[in-house]
């Protein structure tokens, strides 16, 4: 089990991620910030069915507890989002992240 955090980029926006028990999890705050949602907990409460998983990460502003969500939760949020960036984020998720997990390396967005 690897719980060492790393960052993937969506354009110029970093998304903090970690692999927990073989499943890649993403920072819900980072995903919601990209989509322009001010309250990630509210959005996650509406659309995500998973049990919350929190990671304590060191940041420039001090330690933070981040709620980590998996690809299925991101897809649930994106399926309800009407934000312009949702389509690009969905393509990025499908083409970049999922292919990287399978070992295929391609260019980024």
Q: Kindly state the percentage of the chain with pLDDT values over 70.
A: 84
Residue 107 covered by a domain: no
Quick check: is 55 in a domain? yes
- On the question of pLDDT at 109 being above 50, the answer is no
The stretch 23-52 carries a mean pLDDT of 90
Is residue 31 within 8 A of residue 80, CB to CB? The reply is no
- 16 class by beta-carbon count within 10 Å (0-12 exposed, 13-18 middle, 19+ buried): buried
Domain assignment present for 83: yes
Asked, for residue 109, whether it belongs to a domain, the answer is no
Q: Which residues are within 8 A (CB) of 109 and not within 5 positions of it... i.e. 6 or more apart? A: 10, 11, 88, 91, 92, 95, 96
Task: Find the domain containing 36 and state its range.
Answer: 6-101
Q: Quick check: is 108 in a domain?
A: no
pLDDT at position 8: 85
Mean pLDDT value of segment 68-77: 92
How many structural domains are present in the chain? 1
Instruction: Name the token pair of 7.
Output: 């960052």
Determine the Cα–Cα distance for residues 51 and 93; give it in Å rounded to an integer.
21
């Amino acid at each position: 089990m690897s719980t060492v955090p790393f960052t993937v980029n969506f354009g110029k926006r970093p998304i903090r991620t970690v692999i927990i028990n073989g499943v890649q999890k993403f920072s819900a705050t980072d995903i919601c910030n990209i989509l322009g949602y001010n309250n990630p907990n509210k959005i996650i409460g509406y659309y995500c069915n998973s049990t919350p998983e929190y990671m304590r990460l060191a940041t420039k502003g001090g330690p933070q507890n981040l709620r980590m969500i998996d690809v299925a939760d991101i897809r649930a949020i994106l399926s309800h989002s009407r934000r312009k960036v949702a389509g690009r984020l969905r393509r990025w998720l499908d083409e970049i992240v999922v292919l990287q997990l399978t070992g295929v390396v391609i260019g980024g967005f």
